[in-house]
Structure 1
Amino acid sequence: MDASAQRFDAVLFLSFGGPDGPDDVMPFLENVTRGRGVPRERLEAVAEHYLHFGGVSPINRLNIEMIGALRSALADRGSELPVYFGNRNWHPLVEDTLVAMYRDGHRRIVVFPTSAWAGYSGCRQYHEDIARAVDALAAAVPASAQDPVVLRKLPHYWDQPAMVAAGADAVRRAMDELPTGDVEPRLVFTAHSVPTSADRAAGPAAEGGGRYSAQVHAASAAVADAVGARQFDQVWQSRSGPPQVPWLEPDICDHLESLAGQGVRQVVVYPVGFISDHLEVIWDLDNEAAEVAERLGLDYVRADTVGTDPRFVEMIAGLVERYADGRGDLTAMGCGDNGRICRPDCCVPVARPQAPA
């Protein structure tokens, strides 16, 4: 049998990670920013965002809930694939999880990343996480005892109909929370900003890059069309780094100021770029943007992320099964084995200018 068609026997749910308490916050942020020369005072400022919520990011709890829903969806399909949890930046670290999976007898593993997008941080860095875990496994298990291991990262899934449908229903629920009126509320989509240089490097160089911002805009347009919105805006959030470095704009808070100046009175914000509530979602949107909206006199509602929406979880289960059975498209954008990227020049990392100390 062709090795690429052999069945896989486990799932690795691979995410970003987040602190579980106040003592975890600085070590976690140091992991996130390792090698980037971020000044200590900047880390301390970001740490305050986490400490505002007791030092706990919602992402770990939400990932555990999503994993539970995925296990149930797979079981309903008659699948016995076990699902393991690993993170890039905090416990359970992906390196430790892979060692545990190997010792449990798993050698062919489908990897679901909690980012749907192209780009370095949205895709290629997950390949790097996988490669680092494979290297850690080689260091943990004597070479004489090693069997070949394959970790196959699933491709981008931002355009899957179930993800669009789940997002559209989240937007409808948010619209229902607004006071009734004769004017259609303005629908605003947000995603994590990146430096414009990183966006230009997102996707194969031969195709001109920019795949990340193009995907986000297309996903926003699909959800807007599904809810029948006559117009929508697609903006960005969570920028960081030195102010002289250009990032994707406009920022959500600046955009709310602009909308108020245009006479808009009701706004629904949908964080299309996130599948669950990262700390950045609840800080940037539920605190900073909400405060700006209140100051401007806007009726403001933030729509849910797709999270454990049954259609979204079913989408993950279907994607997992298709690739586990050897039926997945191995040429799809984002797909690759053991840390090998899908295209030779795809989503190359861009050097980040260091912030002044």
Structure 2
Amino acid sequence: MAYGTPYKEEDILRYYTDIRHGHAPTQALYDELAGRYRDIGGISPLARITDAQAAKLQASLNKTQTDVEYKVYIGLKHIEPWIEDAVTEMAADGISEAYGIVLAPQYSGFSTQTYHSRAQAKIDELGADIKLTKILRWYEEPKFIAFWANQITALNAQFSAEQQVKAMFVFSAHSLPVKILKDGDYYPQEVKKTAALIAEKAGITNYVVGWQSAGRTADEWIGPDVLDLTRELSKENYTDYIYAPVGFVAEHLEVLYDNDIECKDVVAEIGANYHRLKMPNTDPLFIEAITDVVLKARVK
């Protein structure tokens, strides 16, 4: 299950309206979002990447074991194929054992839990004989941590000794409303733990955790925002800023615009060098990681 993205420019309005719980955006908000898509080349590559991730995961699961045949279904939150469409298709195919995995490593009752709830609700509505195992979090999965740590190690090897001292690694994830903390949501802690595990494996100590892509609402969102954080860090005269959006698993608008345009612009303003680690996408190590996540869930 994943967030989803417009497939073409004509989809932006209905997609944005769904995100806003059925309320159409103002013209100004629409123009801003449409402009961001144009700035990254017209549309996000997320749909293509999600399809490829699903295909690679299915092939990996069926290659890794022979006990059962796995079929991967895609269910999206804000555009077709909807989560409910995936469940309906599963029921029609006679699936009786299912594993729900959200393409977001850290768990939040505010966000990722809603994917699982919608899937279960549709199963109940159909009266389908499907046992759904909900994979809630997988941010500690060793190969997922290794994917990021390996990149840091490789990049540090290219840096001079002076650069290594003056390099700051900025780990980030999608911000969520501060109100989730009142309900004891562990999302911020899981993001910070992700960063700590990667930093430990890569052997770095110069890192911070920031938040990005906050919604345009009246709510207060978790901070510090990566742009504000970068400006604050500029007082320390770092020469290189390396961004690792560890709350995401694919290149999409939030990475290609919020990191590669907005963060890059701020880094240029302060006279430093911008770097962004590559996203998991369909990297073989990442596919192995989510394969392991599913197989471990089945063993339980």
TM-score norm. by structure 1 comes to: 0.76
Q: Report the equivalent of 2:274.
A: 300
Q: Report the equivalent of 1:48.
A: 35
> Are the aligned partners of 1:186 and 1:231 in contact in 2 as well (CA < 8 Å)?
yes
Shift of 1:176: 5.6
Please report the RMSD computed on the Cα atoms of aligned residues, expressed in angstroms: 2.2
Over the matched positions of the two proteins, sequence identity in percent amounts to 25
Q: Report the equivalent of 1:65.
A: 52
Q: Report the equivalent of 1:269.
A: 243
Q: Secondary structure in 1 aligned to 2:208? A: strand
Q: Partners in 1 of 2:41 and 2:256 — Cα distance? A: 13
Instruction: Give structure 2 stretches of 5+ with no counterpart.
Output: none
> Are the aligned partners of 1:24 and 1:55 in contact in 2 as well (CA < 8 Å)?
no
Shift of 1:175: 4.4
> Are the aligned partners of 2:105 and 2:137 in contact in 1 as well (CA < 8 Å)?
yes
1:148 equivalent to 2:129? Answer yes
Equivalences for 1:31-46 in 2 at 5 Å? 31-34=18-21, 39-46=26-33
Instruction: Give structure 1 stretches of 5+ with no counterpart.
Output: 1-13, 139-145, 202-208, 329-357
The alpha-carbon distance between structure 1 residues 159 and 275, as it changes in their structure 2 partners (threshold 3 A), is same
What is the letter of the counterpart of residue 25 of structure 1? I
> Are the aligned partners of 1:268 and 1:300 in contact in 2 as well (CA < 8 Å)?
yes
> Are the aligned partners of 1:171 and 1:304 in contact in 2 as well (CA < 8 Å)?
no
The alpha-carbon distance between structure 1 residues 24 and 37, as it changes in their structure 2 partners (threshold 3 A), is closer
Task: Using CA pairs under 8 Å that are at least 6 residues apart, name the structure with larger relative contact order, 1 or 2.
Answer: 1
Shift of 1:130: 0.9
1:257 equivalent to 2:238? Answer no
What is the letter of the counterpart of residue 186 of structure 1? M
Q: Which has the larger helix fraction? A: 2
Equivalences for 1:198-237 in 2 at 5 Å? 198-201=180-183, 209-237=184-212
Q: Partners in 1 of 2:234 and 2:4 — Cα distance? A: 36
Q: Deviations over 1:88-122 (max 9, x none)?
A: 11122222222222222213211111122222344
Q: Which has the larger radius of gyration?
A: 1
Q: Partners in 2 of 1:281 and 1:192 — Cα distance? A: 10
TM-score norm. by structure 2 comes to: 0.90
Q: Secondary structure in 2 aligned to 1:151? A: strand
What is the letter of the counterpart of residue 172 of structure 2? T
> Are the aligned partners of 2:105 and 2:138 in contact in 1 as well (CA < 8 Å)?
yes
Q: Report the equivalent of 2:4.
A: 17
Shift of 1:66: 1.3
What is the letter of the counterpart of residue 102 of structure 2? P
1:191 equivalent to 2:166? Answer no
1:170 equivalent to 2:145? Answer no
The alpha-carbon distance between structure 1 residues 181 and 322, as it changes in their structure 2 partners (threshold 3 A), is closer
> Are the aligned partners of 2:107 and 2:136 in contact in 1 as well (CA < 8 Å)?
no
